[in-house]
Chains A and B, each alone.
Chain A
Amino acid sequence: MAAQQHGMVEKRGAGIWLTHAFMVLGVLIIFFPIWLAFVASTVSQPEIVSPPMPIWPGDQFWENYRAALFAGVNVPVATMLFNSLVMAIGIAVGKIVISLLSAFAIVYFRFPGRTTFFWLIFLTLMLPVEVRIVPTFEVVAGFGMLNSYYGLIFPLIASATATFLFRQFFLTIPDELAEAARVDGARPMRFFVDIVVPMSRTNIAALFVILFIYGWNQYLWPLLITTDPEMNTIVMGIKQMFPSGDDVAEWPVIMATSILAMIPPVIVVVSMQKLFVRGLVDSEK
């Protein structure tokens, strides 16, 4: 049926194979860096330092991944993975919770200062952490939050985007529901927990996917505030595995770490593809 509808403008026969061929070529080019990293993570150091390196995986998979996970260079990669997980989940959950609460307040109440607060939150859109690194670093240092999960999470947790997204969604919730809740004498928080949050679950899930990746992929901030290798996150820790000076890097271990660093976000994106695309489109609106 679909084929017939589109028949007029769709390629068929040789054309369709050519189209597929282009697509496969595109995918191969895009994938090449990841494939090469995977191959490098399965061969031995001597095979890499005498170029060209092999193009098919070797037999050192377990050795390299074990070395990375449990020994690492400065700190076991397992530790860095754990730190990244705490940071990513902390940021995602934290942002979602504070944004749900503030959006609920802004949409469902009239209170003094409401407009002012709304604009204050709006302004934070304009302040990515990259442009205020020095003073933010000083604040975090002042709180004694260097080398701590609090320091990794809090400065990245306020998000105007999430607040706006939820505000937008709450405005579409039928007024009758709030009316009914009020008539029944339900308290606002009851309404929030029983009606608003369950209705928002798709938005929450979509946002979680986006925020998890945002948190996992942070680089500059962890680089500044985690001077203790035990607190390094995996994305920033990879760079720390390169030796300074002229020593040759442990490429198989570094590449195994790179693969490990991309597995969690890739799993999240691919397994929750629909939510991810939706979250992407929503959060950019």
Chain B
Amino acid sequence: MEKRVTFRGWLLPLLLIAPQVIVSAIFFFYPAAQAIWQSLFIPDPFGLSSQFVGLGNFEFLLSDKFYRASFLTTAIFSTLVTLCSMIPALFLAVIADRLIKGSGVYRTLLIWPYAVAPAVAGVLWLFMFNTRVGVVSWYLGQLGYDWNHVLNDAEAMGLVVVASAWGRISYNFLFFFAALQSVPKSVIEAAAIDGAHFWRRFFTIVLPLLSPTAFFLLVVNVVYAFFETFGVIHTITGGGPQQATTILVYKVFSDGFVGQDLGSSSAQSVILLIVVGLLTVIQFKYVEKRVHY
């Protein structure tokens, strides 16, 4: 779509667009180019010079069992976060949609966790499950279950998943609720007249109508789990125990800043760039479809 009526001149528009282009060039394109460039070198241990290794860093990464483990960890983590945030959200939205009165109040209350930063959510959940003072871990102890996410891989993963999914429930709820509200009531009533009970109506009519929203949320939540959960992991587990909760983004950080392994960290950044690229393409393909929908 283009405007028919435009203003003349070329200097003014260039000046107008300049701030964004300059900021993007300095803080987006130059660093991204740097990442790609550095990924082709291995710096010597003193950081004085570096040696060109071509795709050596990538070859090393892809054969590195820790990196492959991190890929698997990320896959498990993002799948669980997506499921644990979408299913409760859908459930709550379906219930809220059945209420004529009061759904606004519930919505206001349910929005809260979205405003809580992932890192703060991490601290809240860490507090509940802290091995020394945590309330939940204490009651689990009373029941005979010895909770220790500092040592147990599965418990650590479970905790970071729940802490990451918690705030997203709000987000998903808002989208599911809006989608449910726009399902035409006449269709549902017609089905009800035909004798379809609630769950039948839900699975045959409502759920298919929700699928565009659900797919959109699926992509958005995967992106969230990949890139925005750093704060949760850093506050709760620091990537541990061993590397049980080291997702890809966390590994870029720990190899690049803590380990000072620039070549490898840059190569990891480049791999992540490709992942983001793919996810963005999927998202846009879908958005195009939704516009026609």
Say whether A associates with B. yes
A217-B28 in contact given A2-B100, A26-B88, A248-B132 (Cβ < 8 Å): no
- A132 CA / B178 CA spacing, docked (Å): 35
Taken residue by residue from 90 to 117, chain B's Cβ proximity to chain A (1 for < 8 Å, 0 otherwise) reads as 0110011011101000111111111111
Establish whether residues B106 and A27, one from each chain, have CB atoms under 8 Å apart when the complex forms: yes
* A105–B13 CB distance below 8 A: yes
B106: A residues at CB distance < 8 A: 23, 26-27
Instruction: Check A109/B6 contact, CB under 8 A, given A139-B26, A251-B133, A284-B220.
Output: yes
CB-based contact B114/A219 at 8 Å: no
**Which of A5, A114, A139 contacts B27 (CB under 8 A)?**
A139
Is A135 touching B34 in the complex (CB atoms < 8 A)?
Answer: yes
Q: Are A262 and B120 in contact (CB under 8 A)?
A: yes
Chain B 113-126 interface mask (CB, 8 Å, partner A; 1/0): 11111111101110
B110, A27: Cβ atoms under 8 Å?
Answer: yes
Does B176 lie at the interface of the complex (its beta carbon under 8 Å from any beta carbon of A)?
Answer: no
CB-based A-B contact count at 8 angstroms:
308
| Residues of A with C-beta under 8 A to B266 | 134-135
Establish whether residues B166 and A126, one from each chain, have CB atoms under 8 Å apart when the complex forms. Answer: no
Residues of A within 8 Å of B113, CB to CB, are: 30, 34
Question: Contact string, B1-34, partner A, CB cutoff 8 A, digits 1/0?
Answer: 1011111011011101101110110111111101
B279 to chain A, nearest CB (A): 9
Give complex CA distance A238, B235 in Å: 9
On whether A9 and B185 interact (CB within 8 A), knowing A175-B4, A223-B234, the answer reads yes
Report whether B20 and A52 are in contact in the complex, using a CB–CB cutoff of 8 Å: no
B4 neighbours in A (Cβ, 8 Å): 175
Distance to closest chain A CB from B40 (angstroms): 13
Number of contact residues on B: which range applies? 35 or more
Q: In the assembled complex, which residues on chain A have CB atoms less than 8 Å from the CB atom of B178?
A: 277, 281
User: Which of these, A10, A108, A136, contacts B31 with CB under 8 Å?
Assistant: A136
Q: Tell me whether A265 is interfacial, beta carbon within 8 Å.
A: yes
> Which residues of chain A are near B23, meaning CB under 8 Å?
98, 154, 157-158
Q: Mark A29-71, 1 if CB is under 8 A from B, else 0.
A: 0110110110010000000110111010000000000000000
Residue A127 at the B interface, CB < 8 A?
A: yes
Contact assessment for A31 and B13 in the assembled complex, using a CB-CB cutoff below 8 Å: no
A residues 79-106 with Cβ under 8 Å of B?
97-99, 101-102, 104-106
Query: A105-B13, A158-B27 in contact; A128/B133 too (CB < 8 A)?
Result: no
Q: Indicate if the CB atoms of B110 and A30 lie closer than 8 Å.
A: yes
B230 A114 Cβ-Cβ under 8 A = no
Interface size class on chain A is 35 or more
Q: How far apart are the CA atoms of A114 and B188 in the complex, in Å?
A: 48
Question: Cβ of A265 and Cβ of B119 under 8 Å apart?
Answer: no
Residues in A with CB closer than 8 Å to B14 are: 105, 111, 113
B54 interfacial contact with A, CB 8 Å: no
Least CB separation from B201: chain A residue? A9
Q: In the assembled complex, which residues on chain A have CB atoms less than 8 Å from the CB atom of B208?
A: none
Cα distance, A79 to B65, chains bound together (Å): 43
Residue of A nearest to B249 (CB): A130
Q: How far is the CA of A158 from the CA of B4 in the complex (A)?
A: 28
Pick from B17, B112, B119: contact of A34, CB below 8 A. B112
In angstroms, Cα B182 to Cα A281, docked, is 14
Residue of A16, A99, A135 near B35 (CB, 8 A) is A135
Known pairs A131-B249, A131-B272, A134-B257. 17 more at Cβ < 8 A? A26-B110, A101-B16, A107-B3, A108-B3, A111-B10, A111-B14, A120-B21, A121-B24, A125-B280, A132-B32, A139-B30, A154-B23, A157-B27, A238-B119, A248-B133, A254-B123, A266-B116
A selection of 16 A-B contacts at a CB cut-off of 8 Å is A5-B185, A26-B88, A26-B92, A31-B109, A109-B10, A117-B17, A120-B21, A121-B21, A134-B266, A135-B34, A136-B31, A138-B34, A218-B117, A248-B132, A258-B120, A269-B111
- Write the residues of chain B forming the contact surface with A, with a CB cutoff of 8 angstroms: 1, 3-7, 9-10, 12-14, 16-17, 19-21, 23-24, 26-32, 34-35, 38, 88, 91-92, 95-96, 98-100, 102, 106-121, 123-125, 127-128, 132-135, 138-139, 166, 169-171, 174-175, 178, 185, 188-189, 192-193, 198, 201, 216, 220, 227-228, 230-231, 234-235, 249, 252-253, 256-257, 262, 265-266, 269, 272-273, 276-277, 280, 287
